[in-house]
Amino acid sequence: MSLPRAGLAMICFAAISLAQQRNIPDLGYRVVPDWPDLPVGWNFGEVASVAADSHGRVLVFHRGPHPIMEFDSGGKFVRSWGDGMISASPGPNDPTYALVPPRPPCDSCGAHSVRLDPDGNIWVVDDGGHVVIKMNPQGRVVMELGRRGVPGTGHANFNLPTDVAFAPNGDFYVTDGYGNSRVVKFARDGRYLLEWGTRGSGPGEFLLPHAVVLDAQGRVYVADRESRRIEIFDSDGKFLRQWANIGAFSGLAMTGDQRIWAAGGGNVVLLNLDGQILGKLAPSGKLPGQVDAAHGIAVTAAGDVYVAELNWRVQKFVKK
């Protein structure tokens, strides 16, 4: 039986033990106050994910009205879209209802991950809708994978997918996480190529594959959140190794110099590709400049870090 979606349950966000946290050096970042500048009367719902590119474009994906919002790097609002695109809370007749904890109704509850591919296309993962949507840089839908509202295990279906990542040749990988515990690889045009993973805690198995990134060599890094590890595979899904007991991370971001930012709950840390924790972004907590309920993360070429938090905020951090 697949694990229920974690929501804000704090047990799922105990990413790193308190003893470990005390020994992790601070990386010297500061928060940018009052970032971003929302239109008057607008608010975020649970902020599930954030994406940023080298042109200063920042996309915030949240579980409320206007689910996709774009800002410039200074926090100025640019545009929004996506109303009616993302699934709402599932009802008791939905086949995935038992996998999602009870929550108040919201109009974009399926918002889970937003990514920008190397060509500037925008990808969003709607877990409740069981679809992965590709849009061009202007926001027009050009591809939709999965059958909307129809969970399944076949090549044409997902069951509560969680994230997407891209290879240099245009192939892409989807973590089909809450319901199916697998990773699915597709060609650039959306053709199914292969998949791997079954439910379990052994090598190559997943309890909840929640986030995925690739390195410059094409290796695939999957945050298996409920087993508190990151598993590493080759481009065809061959298990290479794992970083066990490293943390219950919900979001991953690969830097240009081949390091990984990992975010989960009150913890945002930087890892090298040997799985060593190099330092932390900020202390845990609810105040500005602290991190709490972190679910997604993005990093720019300049080193700015954006953290999406399920406590209805996104924060920007820059080097001091």
Instruction: Indicate whether 4 belongs to any domain.
Output: no
Residue 99 is predicted with a pLDDT of 67
Given this model, what pLDDT does residue 23 score? 83
Domain span at residue 146 reads: 10-319
Q: What percent of the chain has pLDDT over 70?
A: 88
Q: How confident is the model at residue 4 (pLDDT cuts 50, 70, 90)?
A: very low
103: pLDDT strictly greater than 70: no
Tokens of 311: 């406590």
In a domain, 2, yes or no: no
Residue 245 corresponds to which amino acid?
A: N
Interatomic CA distance for residues 142 and 129, integer angstroms? 17
Summarize pLDDT for 241-271 with one digit per residue, the tens. 999 999 999 999 999 999 999 999 999 999 9
Q: At residue 24, does pLDDT exceed 60?
A: yes
**Region 2-18: what's the mean pLDDT?**
43
In a domain, 186, yes or no: yes
- Report yes or no on 73 lying in a domain: yes
CATH number at residue 191: 2.120.10.30
Tell me, yes or no, whether 1 lies in a domain. Answer: no
Supply the pLDDT for residue 173.
98
3-state secondary structure the chain: CCCCCCCCCHHHHCCCCHHHHHCCCECCEEECCCCCECCCCCCCCEEEEEEECCCCCEEEEEECCCCEEEECCCCEEEEEECCCCCCCCCCCCCCCHHHCCCCCCCCCCCEEEEEECCCCCEEEEECCCCEEEEECCCCCEEEEECCCCCCCCCCCCCCCCCEEEECCCCCEEEEECCCCCEEEEECCCCCEEEEECCECCCCCCECCEEEEEECCCCCEEEEEHHHCEEEEECCCCCEEEEECCCCCCCEEEECCCCCEEEEEECEEEEECCCCCEEEECCCECCCCCCECCEEEEEECCCCCEEEEECCCEEEEEEEC
Q: What is the mean pLDDT of residues 222-240?
A: 98
The answer to whether position 139 is within a domain reads yes
| Cα gap 203→222, rounded to integer Å | 12
Residue 180's pLDDT band (boundaries 50, 70, 90)?
A: very high
For the chain, percent of residues with pLDDT exceeding 90 = 85
Looking at the domain assignment, is residue 5 inside a domain? no
CA distance 73 to 114: 17
* Mean pLDDT of the region 203-217: 97
Domain count within the chain: 1
